[in-house]
Structure 1
Amino acid sequence: MQQFQHWALNPWTVLGCVLAGGTLGWAAPELSSRLSVVGVVYVDLLKMIVLPFMISAVIFSLQNLYRDGGAARIFKRVVVVFLAFSLMAAVLAAAGSLLVRPGGNLAPDTRAALGKIVSSDEERSNTEMTMREPDQVVPETSLRDVVQSLIPQNIFASLANGETLKALVFALLFGFAAGQVPSRISTGLHQALETIYHACQTLTRWVNLPVPLVLVCMAASQVALTGLQPMRAMAGFVVAFLCICVLLLGLAIELISRRAGVPYGEVMRAMREPFALGVATNNSATCMPAMVSGLVGQLKFARARVELLVPLSISLLRVGAVAYFVCGTLFIAALYGRALSPLDLGVLLLVSALAGFASAGMAGIVTVSLVGTVCNYLSLPFEAAFVLLVAVDPICAMGRTAVTVIASCAAVATICAKPVKL
């Protein structure tokens, strides 16, 4: 089973299944168009897991921070560093995407194919679409609306409606409060959350077992509907995102070098193993032992602090995901020719940073699905671009995971005291 899971989630397997599905959709469009229900069911299963996974991971991580007696002294520093890293990643990703504008200036046939994805009802006539045009007014976004949309009036209603960011705000506040409860009282909750967290991980592995078949069906149904033209838009997005990843990696290495007081070459050697594991596995959690080894064994940071902060940063500080959410959303906005106002950009940065925290414990296609949460706040269609983002995600996930791992090391180095040189 483990060997099958390793094969099913291998980036090359994912890419091969997307190509196979595209070929099937091109060769047998009538059959392929009936396969879309498989993708719908799969995405619904992922959404089913997201909220309990995220809530348990956030509260569990915050409780771990408080349970360490000396951790209370660095709590404010953790909050400031995590927020600063997330917002800085969002700003840099937005600047790079606006400069390159992947998804803009596309050929008319590509835009027509994307429009066909959104308006998938083949029985709709041109006259009916024209009559609907005056109603398609993009609603204005106000800061008040954004703030209100983040505060859950009823957490159970938010959970029932799948409102991820409202659930995240509740989880953060509840985690802070639960950390203040004495351990003799909160132990039961701590164990229950750990059980939910690991159960959701197991459930995610089960749901991911048919990923190769699901990707074939999704790609086949979309190609049968739109053809292959939309894939031309993805080359620019991939190049732009990887360039932003390189920039973020360079800044993280620079910060680690300054905090550790060692040359770049030594930092590169210390980060070589966690970087390679992140690229190879696309799973930041598997990199934690290598991160601890590099920060403690080679860069000489205090082990007690590193062993506490590495799991916390991997769970909550998702710098690679934040940059991806910004790039993905701006890519979709460019596809549809949507000009974003300064307020829209501010909302994008804030929501992407929060969505990064909401992606705690998630990877792969589950992370891609959270781009839809960000798009929802800007009234952008997401379903049209989902299969496009999934098609190139094996490449993007490598950069996303590498950035998350190395940026987490930089955050830990920033929070910890500088090593004492002998």
Structure 2
Amino acid sequence: MATPSERAEAGKTARKRVPRSSHGRWIPSSQRPDALTVLERESVDRIPEFVPIRYGRMAVSPFAFLRGAAAVMAADLAAQRHTGLTVQLCGDAHLLNFGVFASPERTLLFDVNDFDETLPGPFEWDVKRLAASVAVAALQNGTSKPKAHRAAQVAAESYRHAMRRLAGLGELDVWYERIAADDLVPLVRGADRTRMERRIARARRRNSLQALDKLTAKDDSGRRHIIEDPPLLERVTDLDRVTLGKIFSDYRSSLSEERRLLLDRFHFVDAARKVVGVGSVGTRCFILLLEGRDDGDPLFLQIKEAGASVLEQYLAPSAFTHHGRRVVCGQRLTQAASDIFLGWMTGPEQRHFYWRQLRDMKGSAEVETMSPSLLREYARLCGRALARAHARSGDRIAIAAYLGTSDVFDRAIADFALRYAGQNADDYTTLSAAIASGVVTAAPGV
């Protein structure tokens, strides 16, 4: 096993391959794939009638476009030289893929919270996507370019400081590191603090009981069912008991023994197909209503299709042939604490799925309404959380040595973020023009 000094030297050696200042470059090559072509390629295996909804949601704003264009940015990042300092990437580390959720001990934590694209890869890919999302959000909110640059730099600076701190800790200390939601409130002041307190309080109320009131009703016989909201939420009426039994059996086998016992204390009530997110629209997603002790003891589970990560064509293939397992294992490795019902299974047509609770005190930020100061502090928090996540799977000592004590890396990442925000704006304009001309069909407002 390499010593800490040898690991640090490996990080410094990586600077020769990829100087820290070089991260600031962004000039699209003449071979850059057309953004719409990349998005259309992704749509091939999606539910056709939902693809216009995806485009409609992406066309709302440049930030919404960025959210749905993970595959576009993956291709752009892959065209650049990388450090070779590998971590378990989130793969889509934009601002809204961070948030609060409940740990198994019912503590509200702040962490990365989306792993559809997770895969081992160079740490800076996540940092660049985070910083780019900060710059896009800041500019969209009317912030000046210098202030948007500063906000992106704060995200990279926070990542660097956190990684250097974690590099000095022992293995167990790093593994047990976490960010409690209640620790966030003192970071902001005035009206921003009030808003954050309200968001945290709202997240605590987002649980299965709240979902029961919002998503279900009882029929004349007293049987509870999911309320339909076509096309976003439609009950599954052809789910026979044989299919349901196999689905549950396969999913159950991916859980640990004590969690299988807990799951067995619930029984199936109803299921519905659900449209979720921006980038995920068109993938197959379902929610299941289960009942425990009585009808006041619900459990909502979400079953989401897992396809190949957008990063896989540019990096080493996943160690897992099952994409649901890839997502679950990446999440368990990266998060400080994960959903107790996180699991996977193979569905009809050999499609891969992963399972989790639909609502477990989950909450995310509203970056579109953030003041410049709050956005900057939120970027700082996300940078810290991302470093914590990367430190669990990557060589934190080598990464910290690569980053160093100066702000060279931070400024370069901010330069890239501002330049890539311009690229994202151009791609967004291209999509908007394609929709206006009828080349792309979009369903706005759905």
User: TM > 0.5 between the two?
Assistant: no
TM-score class normalised by the smaller sequence = under 0.3
- Which protein has the bigger helix share? 1
- Which protein has the bigger strand share? 2
- TM-score relative to the length of structure 1: 0.25
- TM-score relative to the length of structure 2: 0.24
